[in-house]
Each structure stands twice: as C-alpha cells, then as structure tokens.
A and B are shown apart, each in its own frame.
Chain A
Amino acid sequence: MSYYKRFRADLKGAAAAGIITPEQAAKVWELSYSGRLFASFKAVHWIAAAAGLFIALGVILVAAHNWDKLGAMAKMGAFLLLFAGAAEASLRLEERPAAAIPLETLWFFMPALGIGLYAQIFNLSGDPVKPYLAWAAISAPLAAFSRRPLAAYLVSFLLFAVLFWGTLGSSNMLALTASYGNTAQPLWHWALALAVLAGGAALYPGQKLGMPLGAAAVWTFFMLAADTAIKVRSEALVLLAGMSLAVLWLSWSRRPDGEKAGLPLTVWTASVYAMTFFWHYKPHAYNSFRGTDTAYGAALTWLIFAGALLTALLRPQRLLPEGREENYVGKGLLAASMLGAFLLFGATESSAKLLGVLANFILAAFGVGCIMSGARNSDEKLINRGVLVITLTAVTRFVDIFGGLLKSGVAFIVTGLAFAALAYFVNRGRKALIEAVKK
C-alpha cells in the first residue's frame, strides 16, 4: 500500500473513531496530497497529456516530410500561426484541463518544431546538442510560469537527457570526454554542463530533491569514471566516490515519512552487493583501465567522501526506520560501506577479499536490521526487504564461491536453519514486546 493510500485510510479511520472530524480529515488529506508531484493530475489528464504528445510528434513528423514545393515564408508563417494558436488556446482553455493539457504539451514541443523546420528550410547544421539546449532554454519560461508541473517536468527531463548525452560525447559543445588523440575539452564546456545540471534541478517540479540529486550523483560518477579532466583511475578512488555518492543520494533524498524505499536505497544496496564481488579481485587484472588519477578528480572524490561521512554521522539515517538502535545500525552501515573502499588502497588479493567479506557482512547486517526493525514496527514490507537482501546475498555466494553441488546444498541447508532460528527469535521478541505493553 502506498504512503498516500495508507495515510488516507488512517485519516478515514481517525474520523470514524471520532478523533478528528471528517472535515478536518479532508483538509489534512488535501494539504498532504497537494504537495505530491502531479497531485492535480487525474487519469483523464494523463490521457490528455498523451494525446498532446502524440499530436505534437505527429506534427513534427509531418513537417519533417519536407514540403519542398512550399516557399520558406509560407512554411515559417504557418509555423508561427500554429505556435500562436496552440499556445493561445492553451491559455484560453486554462480552466478545462482535458483541452489545456494537450495544448500545453503541443506548446512545449513548438520550439522543437520551429528549430527543426528552420534547419530544414535553411539547411542548418552544426553542433548536435545546440538545438536541444535551445529548445530547453526557449521552453524554460513556460515551465517556470505554468500552473501545471507538466512543462517543468518535460524541460527538466530534456535538460538531464542532454546533459548525459552531451557530456559523455567528445565532439559537441557540452562534451567533457577527451576524443582520441586530442587534448582536454575547454573549461567553458564544464561551466555550460554545470549550468544545464543546475537548470534541470531548478526546474524539476515539486519539493522533491530525490530525482535531481540522483541525476547529479550519477552524472558526477560518470564524469569521474570517464576520460574527463576530473577522471580517477585507481579502483580505490572510483569505489570511494561511487559509495560516497550513493550515501549522499540516499541520505538527502528520502523523506523520513516516506514509506517507499525508493531508488536511492536500491542503488546503495546494489552498490554494496557489487562490492561483494571484490572477493575475486586480482591486483594486476585491471592494468588496461589504469592510468593516472587527475588532481581535480582526486580532490573532488575526497570532498565527496568527507561530505558523505559527515552526512552519515550527523544527518538522520534513511537506511532503516527511525529508532535508537536503528540509528546506530544505519549510520554504522552507511559509514562502513564507504570506509570499506580504503581496503583497496595499495590493494593485495587478501585485502580485496577482506572488502568482499565486509560487503557481505554489511548486507547481512542490513537484512537482519530490516527484519528486526520490521518485526518491532509490524512492518511486513521491511521484513520482506530484509529477507530478500539476505536471500539474494546467500544465493549469490553459494553459486559464486562454493560452486559444487554438495557444498552448495549444505550451505543452503545451513542458511535455511539460520532463517528458521531468526524467525523463532523474532517471534519471541514480538511476543515479549506485546507482553511488556500489556503489563
């Protein structure tokens, strides 16, 4: 059950029990639900947005047919009339969302149609990223001033898509990776890329930090890992940067009251899971990837690590629900997931194996923490998450390390017995808790 569904049910229950009046319940619900992204969007509005999207794409493709018998002035005039008509109709029908939403979607796509049409008429070519940046820049005011979040969401998505596409390329105005045989990209590319990132984050609708922060974290990691001016090449720094970014994303994006674990928690868990494979690390197996760490990249990595460590220690942890024990366990696991990377500095095969073991312990402790906390708070979802993490880790290790049928079979039995023991103790703990409350 989603947070909002459960909250609504709780409010109804509270109203039915006479704790609050039905009017108060309705007002609290309205206040809470209005903060949600696309809160005002009903199913029909989504269909309307899809209608606008299809019409806009259809118009673009019809124009792309290239009506070469028509003169330039006629084409440009028709475009400007269509542009003005769609936008004006969207404004006039503001109070009728079923009509205004497809028209606003069409309005958002109009600059793209214009840029494409002008390129067609005048045979324009050049930087592949420029038309998309121009489209986002021209549509940004619409995104900022529109009453609905749709245009803001589309512009933000467009900016993030262009950021990743452009910066990972090597021959466009946003390119940050070095092309073969050439020197580093100019500094102004970085300024432009950061402006695009800031623009995408600023225009993202609602109060949610999670998605923009996630996009920024993933992009930063790509820039550190790719052949850019801030590249890091030693495995220890790459791992330190990756885990620190995962911790930052998890710590700053997830709301304390959010029931959904969300993408940041999945990414953190997946990162720790990936770390378990350092068991197979061979120090000389990655020579082709090795190179020199750049000073900027190393400095940025240490800065990210310092920020993530302070965040893990000082901010409320988001790994497990709130609670005294949970806080200790959550903060400890977050810190351990980053500090484990230090085992890779001057790594030998044994220190890498130690890192693999540590990652397994982190996952196991996280899983047990989820089960214990879930049992205490009667949260089945949390218990299931804990069981899933432990099961996935255990099954991977059996296949990964033991290999043979006999050893794997015995390991499965041992794990099954461990789960049974855990279930027994969890149940006893719950009973003790209920008895303590009765007394």
Chain B
Amino acid sequence: MTRLRIVLAAQLLLFAAWGGWLLSSKGTVAPEFYLETVPVDPRDFLSGTFVALTYKISAPEPCRKVIGSRSFAQVYVKLEEGLFSATTPAGPVKLYEATDCAEHPGDGVWVRASVQGGGAGPLRALYGIERFYLNENDPRKNAGSGSVVAKVKPGRRNALVLLDLVQKL
C-alpha cells in the first residue's frame, strides 16, 4: 500500500512537473512568427481532433549536408524571414523559411529538429509542431491547403512552440 502511494505521488509529480515545463516553455519571451503550412485532418483517440501540419521547412535542404548518410539526426535549423507573406486578420505577416542547418545553434532564430532521411532519399524534419489540436466542432479542422498559416515561436531549448493556426484572408 505504501509503495503504491509512493508510485502515485511520483506519477502526479511527473505530470505536474511536465505541465509546469510546458507552461513555462509556452510563456518564454521570444519573437512570434508565421509558417506556411499544408493541413490535413485526422483524429487521435487519445487527444482528440487535430490538424496534421506539414511545413515548407519540413524538408530543409540545407540539412542534407549536415545529416550526410545518417538516417536520423538531431540538428538545428535556422529560420529567417522569406520573400513571401500572408494576409491574416491581424494584417500582413512575413512567412519564415529554413535558410541554414547545423549541429549546434548559432545567432538568430535556430530551432531544434529531428531529421530523418539522408543519402539520396527525401528529408523529413520534425519540429514537434506537426499537430494542432482543436475542438471537434472547430471549422478549422477542415482547413484546406494554403488557407492557413501556423503561428509559432521558439520555446525552451530551441524547441518550436505552436501557438495558433490562423486563417488567411
């Protein structure tokens, strides 16, 4: 009984600490910016309805030289304002693009990514912002390709945090 109470306390502490970490990561002071995205709408029975997001930065060509022949690597991708912009209800916003890739972050906006692929195969970078969860009645779950942009910002340890999915005008 005592051992199980210790187990319960440890489990609760784990979830409390994890929640605190995620809350503080979302609350970090960092610039917010937008990414072009291509959404689809599957459903996860653990977490509910979500929009699966693929970004232009999901295939960062600058990482090919960094990953080499490895099939998997943790890298940092540099994001900078690109040439394109989108019009949102808050006004026109510049869209960010992947411009560089390295084993360690440098100056500017560098975000952590897990890159799979390598060799001659296609690259696939995961930033932890590939799912946007929403209420099952939210109309954005049917967002079409090119109709939304993702509002993001770097959180703790250079991890990207997905803040919102904004409809383009």
Contacts and interface: CB of A to CB of B under 8 A. Distances in A.
B162 A123 contact: yes
B121 A181 contact: yes
B116 A171 contact: yes
Interface stretch (B15-23, B30-38, B85-93, B94-102): B15-23
A71 to B, nearest CB: 10
Nearest to B45: A64
A68 interface: yes
A66 B134 contact: yes
A73 to B, nearest CB: 8
B1 interface: yes
B46 A83 contact: no
Contacts of B49: 64, 66
B18 A124 contact: no
Given A111-B11, A117-B47, A68 B138 contact: yes
Contact of B119 (A68, A122, A182): A182
A120 B48 contact: yes
A119 interface: yes
A72 B23 contact: yes
B2 to A, nearest CB: 10
Nearest to B46: A116
Given A118-B18, A122-B161, A145-B4, A182 B118 contact: yes
A307 B128 CA distance: 45
Nearest to B120: A181
A141 B18 CA distance: 19
B128 A124 contact: yes
A88 B8 contact: yes
A185 B71 CA distance: 7
Interface in A53-95: 60-61, 63-68, 72-73, 76, 79-80, 83-84, 87-88, 91, 94
Nearest to A69: B135
Interface string B4-18: 110110111011101
B12 A125 contact: no
How many residues of B sit at the interface, in one of the four size bands? 35 or more
A117 B133 CA distance: 10
A108 to B, nearest CB: 11
Majority SS at the chain A contact face:
helix
Contacts of B11: 83, 87, 110-111, 138, 141-142
B68 to A, nearest CB: 10
Given A66-B136, A83-B12, A181-B120, A122 B48 contact: no
B134 A68 contact: yes
Contacts of B161: 122-123
Given A180-B121, A183-B118, A186-B72, A125 B131 contact: yes
A61 B44 CA distance: 10
Contact of A123 (B3, B71, B117, B133): B133
A279 to B, nearest CB: 41
A125 B130 contact: yes
Interface string A111-149: 111111111111111110001000000100110011000
A122 B130 CA distance: 12
Contacts of A125: 126, 128-131
Given A83-B15, A182-B71, A183-B71, A146 B126 contact: no
Contacts of B167: none
A24 interface: no
A124 B131 contact: yes
A121 B47 CA distance: 9
A184 interface: yes
A186 B119 CA distance: 15
B118 A65 contact: no
A248 to B, nearest CB: 32
Q: Closest 5 A-B residue pairs measured CB to CB?
A: A116-B46, A64-B48, A181-B121, A125-B131, A125-B130
Given A64-B46, A118-B15, 11 more contacts: A66-B49, A72-B19, A79-B15, A115-B46, A117-B47, A119-B133, A120-B50, A121-B133, A122-B26, A123-B133, A126-B114
12 contacts: A60-B46, A65-B48, A66-B133, A66-B134, A66-B138, A80-B12, A84-B8, A88-B8, A119-B133, A122-B161, A145-B4, A186-B71
